[in-house]
Amino acid sequence: MSETRETLPAQKAWMSVAQKVGIPLASVVLAIIVGSVIMWTSGYDPVAAFAALFKGSFGGPKQIGDTLLRSTPLILTGLALAYGFRANLFNIGAEGQLFMGGLAVAWLGVAVTGLPWIIMVPMLLLASMLAGAAWAFVPAILKARVGAHEVITTMMFSYIARYIVSWLVVGPLKAPGQIPQTVALPTGAQLPRIQTLFGESTLDALPFLNLGRTHLGIVVALVAALFVWFILKYTTLGYENRAVGFNPWASETGGISVQWTTVKALCISGAFAGLAGAVEVMGVHYRIFDQFSSGFGFTGIAVALLAKNHPLGVIPAAILFGGLTAGAGTMQLEAGVPQKIILIIQALVIFFVAAEEIFKWFIKRRQKEALSHAG
Amino acid sequence: MPVLELREITKIFPGVVANDRVSLELERGEIVALLGENGAGKSTLMNVVYGLMSSDGGQILVNGEMVKIKSPRQAIDLGIGMVHQHFMLVEPLTVTENIILGREPGRLGVIDFATARQKVQEISARYGLKVDPDAKIMDLSVGMQQRVEILKALYQGASVLILDEPTAVLTPQEVKELFRVVRSLVDEGLSVVFITHKLEEVMSVSDRIVVMRDGKVVGETKPSETDDVGLARMMVGRDVVLSVEKGPSTCGAQVLEVTDLEVRDDRGLEAVRGVSFTVCGGEVVALAGVSGNGQSELVEAIVGLRRPSSGSLQLKGLDITHASARASIEAGVSHIPEDRHRRGLVLEFDLAENLILGDHRLPPFASHGIMHPSAIAGVAERRIEDYDVRTPSWHVLASNLSGGNQQKVVVAREIGRNPELLVAAQPTRGLDVGSIEFVHKQILAERENGKAVLLVSLELEEVLSLADRILVIFEGRIVQEFTVDEVDEETLGYYMTGGGGSKLDGEAEHVEMTEGDS
Amino acid sequence: MLGDIITPDLFASALRMATPLALAAIGGTICERSGVVNIALEGMMLVGAFFGTVITLATGNAWLGIIAAVVSGVAVSAIHAFASINLRSDQVVSGTAINILALGVTGFMMERLYGHPGTTDPTGTLGPVFKFAMSDDGFFGTIWNWINGIFLSHTPIVYMAIIIAIVAQWAMFRTRWGLHLRALGEHPRAVDTVGVSVIRGRWIAVLMSGGLAGLAGANLTLEQVGSFTENMTNGRGFIALAANIFGHWTPVGSYLASLLFGFADALQIKLQIFRGEINIPPQFFLMLPYVLTVVVLAGVIGRAVGPAAVGKPYEKE
């Protein structure tokens, strides 16, 4: 008996990992195939396009650096979406919380002076999480109290956030000059590039550390992923989050407050989206302006879904989409394919991951055929 | 020539043979009872006949002709009608709209509602099934809804009527009325297949009895040629003890005291109207009543899922009137909910996670918000062993267990917590005989341990075999109280339907009348 | 100044602004009544707006453009129908995929066809259906001018939307299609057991919502703006969903709720003209429809109950 108890779970775990990884991988492959067909019918060369895309995203340390640069906010928005999904909440407006997180950092980073880097940076990161959580708070309360669907409310809040930022960067927070943007953060409030942390000799010895524009935010993102993984697996907060996501009625019977858990889940989701805004401001642009996010909040949806809402799965999923974004420029330059094809591939990935039934149906059909041949 | 004949019907689900070469004949004007435990394959067989499932083998003959039934539409066209266990009625639509659904009178897609109403009234008059054609389904009683279902089948031109567990939700009086209706349908030339797992019903209504077990027909008999015990043996495959042995009640200290409790339902209407009673340690108190008379709201108030609007609740002297579900659990109230899939389990969680739901914040399972997996696993393994949950390990998801084993998980958690008060709402609904016996034993064991048990059940047999005292609830009031040895099913049924003279009684009858008149 | 703000053209503008929302909202109503959530209205509208413009630019005929918009909306909705009905995908996720797909496809095709991102060449806009003269005949003249200005100054799709709202309302409660539709979203198995196909009923509803969203897109480009700009729908699909809820899942209710949002939009545009005098940044006016949507949802939801089976894939046993 004890023997079966030990082996069976191990086997099961392996099978479930295979299934969890298999379907997302198949979805990506299918999306690339369909994307290629679209390119080919539009008169482009898909092979050349994907070759250029790969070159632009993984072709060398600088390109890998660019991919990681794009992956950094995607890991965080992916975590935001995944944490929400685990409570059966769809934080489609993560983009808005990202804007508010970025705004908080861009403002505080300039307004607060005289603090050492080691205090300033954690404080700013925390502030961005609070700002993101705050921006998710009203939709969260509306969801918990009156059942207003978070897909509509967070979306509306995301438009409102963009207008607020767009007003501030031409109005009260505008930096001197023609361009509508805020004043740049001082070095003491920035996330430095990875390669600047090492000496010349170390970089020569370990050339893979030449990661171009990749900044310390990637470490923040990886720590965040581990943190979310721990919350979901080993804390009562995570247990309650998952219980409510699966079955709110049974959770309520088990003494879990569904409303409070909903509020916490959406605010925590918002906090990670806010953090994504912070790493963009502190590590890339050093200021906020209208277009400082290229839809990271929305791409986070695809990241979370591809990761099947697993916080560690978010990392490779984010690197995939980060790579697509990073290589898109090279692809347009060398193969002439419009960058928008990336959005199409992203949509296809979501579509195929969600349509898990396609694969199950296919397997079932095979089994049925086998059965009917046997009979 | 039989109106319906099934020859060697076989239906296979992954891992289970639900119907194994089942044959059945139904003559014109005959009532055949299809008897079997939950999971014996009765409903599957009838779903095949009604075109909801495809069979993996066998033949169906209607009036001697071989037919292939691939959809309900075809079944309806062949004159087969079915009243499902869970009603197929659209709640916000009217009676007429529900009855004509799929066969609407009218031209060019525009419904002729006048004709529709008229037709409904015609059929309703012809079979003596009075109903208000303009009432919305959600405003009707369960008995009335069933009537609409029968009318729907008749409107569609059914000559064979399949009734799937039709009495599960009815009061003894409504059951009598249903039997009268079934008799009159048969007199009009219809044939009826009556699916049930209740022995007495079979004896009183059917002309012929077909018994199924584990997907096979295991016997066929007539009410005049058998008795309860013989049927039970055929159905279960072994001798069953039809009554539960229990010692005399040892009423100890008072555990639960309910005083003048008033509770509102989801629509804000008063569902519990001033209820007072007590439950003491070592005693099973049963709440008997027709579904929808305030039991659910009362239970929800006691376990902290619903705030009472007035009155008080005391648990061993502690005021729990406004306790949350969490506070209520921590005060010592356990709850076996009436719907285990909705309220009892998180089906996507594994057994260990389910076995700690409600205790998941407390040591030894967690401290300072961090969970302790090894402690959780240890307790899970012990409870699975103690409560005989049939599973290879606690890693299995709750959704992969059978209904009986799922209920054992709920019982293991709620009793394993060692509560002061156990509130068991319909704890054996939909279970097989073995599991029912097990759950009953556990409830009585709590009683022996000096714990208080409040049992809510629609099954009067269960109430009479487990309870020490019985409270009859009608329209949110406790209208009568009995000790178990001074009452029988008939009397309970009488009080459950307002026979005891609730103040609202006259009003309720008045409503029934106007519904019938229009 | 109030007299300058409250003029016939403010209300006329409200009707105009309400039109794309109302068409999409009615589409949402039909779709949700059948039991399928459609958050892809946004994307379907965008695709309709784009192909309406493309065909109009290619043929010079705006009516062909309108047809293309409807057809392309239907085509995109077929993806949603297949995913959510046949493959039983999560309907909200499928809708999200379509919204992103719509952004990608319109952007990609734009560069492929016109060689640049951003905005297409102008198509011109369809003119009003009626052309009645203004009157200067004192009191009655003023009344006539108001009626003429508010109700008789519109382009074809504005009137189509009103007719569609009324016809859809009638059909939903008086026809066989409507009865099946209302039953589908509440209790699909009940519909199945009386021999009516759930799959077919839901497919038709989703395709209709796609057509209506496409028409809404055509109204945006061919009647209001006169050209296509990437992502020009700007959340209207989501606001339309809110209008559908506010209108209690009925076509006429959806239309009336859309009028409220249309009025908010018209008002903010109008107020921007007086920016100098009011001295409030324009972004705050632009926010107005989004804020209003949240306020409306917060106020109405508890009391508005949607179809019981909405969002749940139907599976035969």
Q: Which residues of A touch B327 (CB under 8 A)?
A: 255
Q: Closest Cα of chain C to A188: distance in Å?
A: 32
Q: What is the pLDDT of residue A73?
A: 98
Dump pLDDT digits (tens) for C261-313.
999 999 888 888 877 777 788 888 889 889 999 998 888 655 667 888 888 88
Q: What is the DSSP letter of B108?
A: T
**DSSP characters for A59-89?**
SSHHHHHHHHHHHHHHHHHHHHHHHHHHTT-
What is the spatial distance between Cα A337 and Cα A332, in angstroms, rounded to a whole number? 5
Q: Does B48 touch chain C (CB under 8 A)?
A: no
Q: Does B111 touch chain C (CB under 8 A)?
A: yes
In a domain, C262, yes or no: yes
What is the spatial distance between Cα B467 and Cα A318, in angstroms, rounded to a whole number? 60
Dump pLDDT digits (tens) for B301-358.
999 999 999 999 999 999 999 999 999 999 999 999 988 889 999 999 999 999 999 9
Q: Which residues of B touch C193 (CB under 8 A)?
A: 50, 52, 72, 82, 84, 88
In a domain, C149, yes or no: yes
Q: Which residues of C touch A153 (CB under 8 A)?
A: 294, 297
Q: Does A171 touch chain C (CB under 8 A)?
A: yes
* Cβ–Cβ below 8 Å for B88 and C180: no
Give the residue from chain B lying closest to C186, CA to CA: B90
Domain ranges of chain B: 4-236, 254-345+417-511
Report the alpha-carbon angle C199-C48-A340, nearest 5.
100
Q: Does C90 touch chain A (CB under 8 A)?
A: yes
Dump pLDDT digits (tens) for B85-112.
889 999 999 999 999 999 999 989 999 9
Q: What is the DSSP letter of B458?
A: S
**CA dist B104 → A59, B107, B407, C13 (Å):** 67, 9, 43, 43
In a domain, C313, yes or no: no
Q: Closest Cα of chain A to C102: distance in Å?
A: 8
> Buried b vs exposed e over B103-140: b needs ≥16 C-beta within 10 Å?
bbebeeeebebeebbebbbebbeebebbbbbebebeeb
Give the residue from chain A lying closest to B399, CA to CA: A246
State the amino acid at position C112 in one-letter form. R
Q: Which residues of C touch B152 (CB under 8 A)?
A: 194
Q: Which residues of B touch C316 (CB under 8 A)?
A: 52
* Cβ–Cβ below 8 Å for B392 and A4: yes
Tokens of B283: 């005693």
* Cβ–Cβ below 8 Å for C195 and B102: yes
Instruction: Please tell me which chains touch A, using 3 or more CB pairs under 8 Å as the contact test.
Output: B, C
Q: Which residues of B touch A249 (CB under 8 A)?
A: 342-343
Q: Does C305 touch chain B (CB under 8 A)?
A: no
In a domain, C316, yes or no: no
Q: Which residues of C touch B96 (CB under 8 A)?
A: none
Domain ranges of chain A: 76-315
Q: What is the pLDDT of residue A8?
A: 47
State the amino acid at position B209 in one-letter form. I
Dump pLDDT digits (tens) for B435-469.
888 899 999 999 999 999 999 988 888 898 899 99
* Cβ–Cβ below 8 Å for A243 and B346: yes
Q: What is the pLDDT of residue C176?
A: 96
Give the residue from chain A lying closest to C85, CA to CA: A355
Instruction: Please tell me which chains touch B, using 3 or more CB pairs under 8 Å as the contact test.
Output: A, C
What is the spatial distance between Cα A102 and Cα A100, in angstroms, rounded to a whole number? 5
Dump pLDDT digits (tens) for C202-246.
999 999 999 999 999 999 999 999 999 999 999 999 999 999 998
Q: Which CATH class is domain B254-345+417-511?
A: alpha beta
Residues linked to residue B213 through DSSP beta bridges, in sequence order: B216
Q: What is the pLDDT of residue B400?
A: 87
* Cβ–Cβ below 8 Å for A234 and B346: no
Number of domains in chain C: 1
Nearest by CB: A347 against C101, C109, C284: C101
Residue to test with chain B: of A239, A261, A367, most B Cβ within 10 A = A239
In contact, B345 and B406? CB cutoff 8 Å? yes
Tokens of A285: 């642009």
Confidence of residue B517 (pLDDT cuts 50, 70, 90): very low
Q: What is the pLDDT of residue B385?
A: 92
Q: Is C212 left (phi over 0), alpha (psi -120 to 50) or beta?
A: alpha
SS3 B446: helix
Residues in chain C: 317
Q: Which residues of A touch C112 (CB under 8 A)?
A: 42-43, 338
Residues with Cβ within 8 Å of residue C83, at least 6 apart in sequence: A351, A354, A355, C89, C91, C94, C97
* Cis check: omega of the bond before B364, within 30 degrees of 0: yes
In a domain, C37, yes or no: yes
Residue A208, class by beta-carbon neighbours within 10 Å (0-12 exposed, 13-18 middle, 19+ buried)?
exposed
In contact, C49 and C69? CB cutoff 8 Å? yes
Q: What is the pLDDT along chain A (375 residues), one digit of tens a residue?
A: 333 333 344 555 666 677 778 888 999 999 999 999 999 999 999 999 999 999 999 998 889 999 999 999 999 999 999 999 999 999 999 999 999 999 999 999 999 988 999 999 999 999 999 999 999 999 999 999 888 889 999 999 999 999 999 999 998 899 898 899 999 999 999 999 988 888 888 888 887 778 889 999 999 999 999 999 999 999 999 999 999 999 999 999 999 999 999 999 999 999 999 999 999 999 999 999 998 998 999 999 999 999 999 999 999 999 999 999 999 999 999 999 999 999 999 999 999 998 876 777 666 666 666 555 543
Tokens of C238: 């989501």
Q: Does A167 touch chain C (CB under 8 A)?
A: yes
Determine the structural domain holding residue C231 and report its residue range: 2-303
Q: Which CATH class is domain B4-236?
A: alpha beta
Nearest by CB: B73 against C187, C195, C308: C195
CATH code (residue C245): 1.10.3470
Does residue B290 surpass a pLDDT of 60? yes
* Cβ–Cβ below 8 Å for A340 and C79: no
Q: What is the pLDDT of residue C145?
A: 83
